[in-house]
């Protein structure tokens, strides 16, 4: 058995939860329990909010990297890291929406999540994730709030223009064609990994990570063993050490068995 792995990081959508089933397969549930019995740290790493991720506590998870590394929560709801987007960028985005172009913006603050307005794209993506559409709130009303993450419902062309010209102190990542995650520059899931590894005294070489989206690339590249799900994009697969099957095809279980972790 492989005794080198001390911590494993798991994305949620398309990884723990199947893209089609929207459920965690029994094989993954059993794998998590076996990992915990071996005292291997199991840590959620997601672009979701903590509120939308902590249902995984019932499956044995206690530590959460949320908002792509902007907000990290350890045991007993202890916040061990928080990094917000610069208010100047929020103001710049507001001015851009007011005078240049209009598209939905999801806003994740330290106390709640909001959406500027609802379109078919917004409804479709939240239905896909089986999540409730956030409360509608004009962007002007969140200008003085601490913003951890933005979701911009834009295509790739608009994404590049906005990141280069408007949200200059931010960076984006994309796991679907409908929208992008936007976080403060330098904030990625890898940052969250480093905070938890420092807390537990674990080296990056002794880690494994599972993911499928563009926001997982730095995490998979940093981990000792990076596993891409079969539904991942080519960009994600290229940085992984191994490409497993889909969640519904017991991809997590199969990869853990292949590397003799369980």
Going by pLDDT thresholds of 50, 70 and 90, the confidence category of residue 227 is very high
Alpha helices (H) in the chain, listed in sequence order? 26-37, 87-99, 120-128, 156-165, 189-200, 217-222, 234-239, 251-258
Class of domain 87-184: alpha beta
The pLDDT of residue 18: 94
The pLDDT of residue 230: 98
**196/198 Cα distance (integer angstroms):** 5
Average pLDDT over residues 29-55: 96
**More confident site: 258 or 3:** 258
Specify the domain boundaries for CATH 3.40.50.1000 within the chain: 7-82+187-258
205 CB-contact burial (10 Å; exposed 0-12 / middle 13-18 / buried 19+): exposed
Question: For tokens 């960028």, what's the residue?
Answer: 89
Sheet with strand 113-115: strands edge to edge: 135-136, 113-115, 105-109, 147-152, 180-184, 170-173
Are residues 13 and 129 in contact, defined by beta-carbon separation less than 8 angstroms? yes
Specify the domain boundaries for CATH 3.30.1240.10 within the chain: 87-184
Options 3.40.50.1000, 3.90.79.10, 3.30.200.190, 3.30.70.600; which CATH number does 7-82+187-258 get?
A: 3.40.50.1000
**122/242 Cα distance (integer angstroms):** 33
Question: For tokens 């929207």, what's the residue?
Answer: 22
Q: What is the tens place of the pLDDT at every residue in 185-224? A: 999 999 999 999 999 999 999 999 999 999 999 999 999 9
**27/257 Cα distance (integer angstroms):** 11
| Mean pLDDT over the full length of the chain | 95
Average pLDDT over residues 222-248: 97
Going by pLDDT thresholds of 50, 70 and 90, the confidence category of residue 110 is confident
Q: State residue 132 phi and psi, 5-degree precision.
A: -75, 140
SS3 255: helix
Q: What is the tens place of the pLDDT at every residue in 152-188? A: 999 999 999 999 999 999 999 998 889 999 999 999 9
- In 3D space, the residue among 225, 162, 222 whose CA is nearest the CA of residue 189 turns out to be 222
Q: What is the tens place of the pLDDT at every residue in 127-153? A: 988 889 999 999 899 888 999 999 999
Average pLDDT over residues 12-19: 95
Are residues 212 and 232 in contact, defined by beta-carbon separation less than 8 angstroms? yes
Q: Sign (positive/negative) of CA torsion 48, 52, 53, 54?
A: positive
Beta strands, E only, 169-246: 170-173, 180-184, 207-211, 225-228, 242-243
User: Which are the contacts of 62, defined by CB distance < 8 A and separation ≥ 6?
Assistant: 74, 75
**250/82 Cα distance (integer angstroms):** 33
The pLDDT of residue 1: 78
Residue 81 clears pLDDT 90, i.e. is over it: yes
Q: Tell if the pTM clears 0.85, that is, is over it.
A: yes
Percent of the chain with pLDDT over 70: 100
The pLDDT of residue 2: 85
């Amino acid at each position: 058995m492989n005794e080198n792995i001390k911590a494993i990081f798991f994305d949620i959508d398309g990884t723990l939860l199947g893209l089609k089933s929207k459920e965690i397969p029994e094989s993954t549930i059993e794998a998590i329990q076996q990992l915990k019995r071996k005292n291997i740290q199991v840590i959620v790493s997601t672009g979701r909010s903590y509120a939308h991720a902590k249902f995984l506590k019932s499956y044995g998870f206690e530590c959460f990297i949320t908002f792509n590394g902007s907000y990290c929560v350890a045991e007993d709801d202890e916040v061990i890291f928080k990094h917000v987007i610069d208010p100047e960028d929020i103001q710049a985005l507001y001015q851009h929406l007011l005078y240049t172009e209009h598209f939905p913006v999801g806003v994740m603050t330290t106390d709640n999540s909001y959406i500027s307005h609802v379109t078919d794209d917004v409804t479709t993506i939240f239905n896909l994730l089986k999540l409730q559409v956030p409360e509608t709130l004009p962007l002007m009303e969140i200008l003085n709030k601490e913003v951890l993450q933005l979701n911009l419902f834009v295509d790739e062309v608009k994404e590049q223009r906005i990141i280069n010209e408007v949200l200059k102190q931010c960076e984006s990542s994309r796991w679907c064609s409908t929208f992008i995650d936007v976080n403060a520059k330098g904030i990625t899931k890898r940052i969250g990994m480093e905070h938890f590894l420092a807390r537990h005294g674990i080296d990056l070489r002794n880690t494994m990570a599972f993911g499928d989206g563009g926001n997982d690339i730095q995490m998979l590249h940093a981990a000792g063993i990076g596993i891409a799900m079969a539904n991942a994009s080519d960009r994600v697969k290229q940085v992984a050490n191994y490409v497993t099957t889909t969640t519904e095809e017991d991809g997590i279980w199969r990869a853990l068995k292949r590397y003799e972790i369980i």
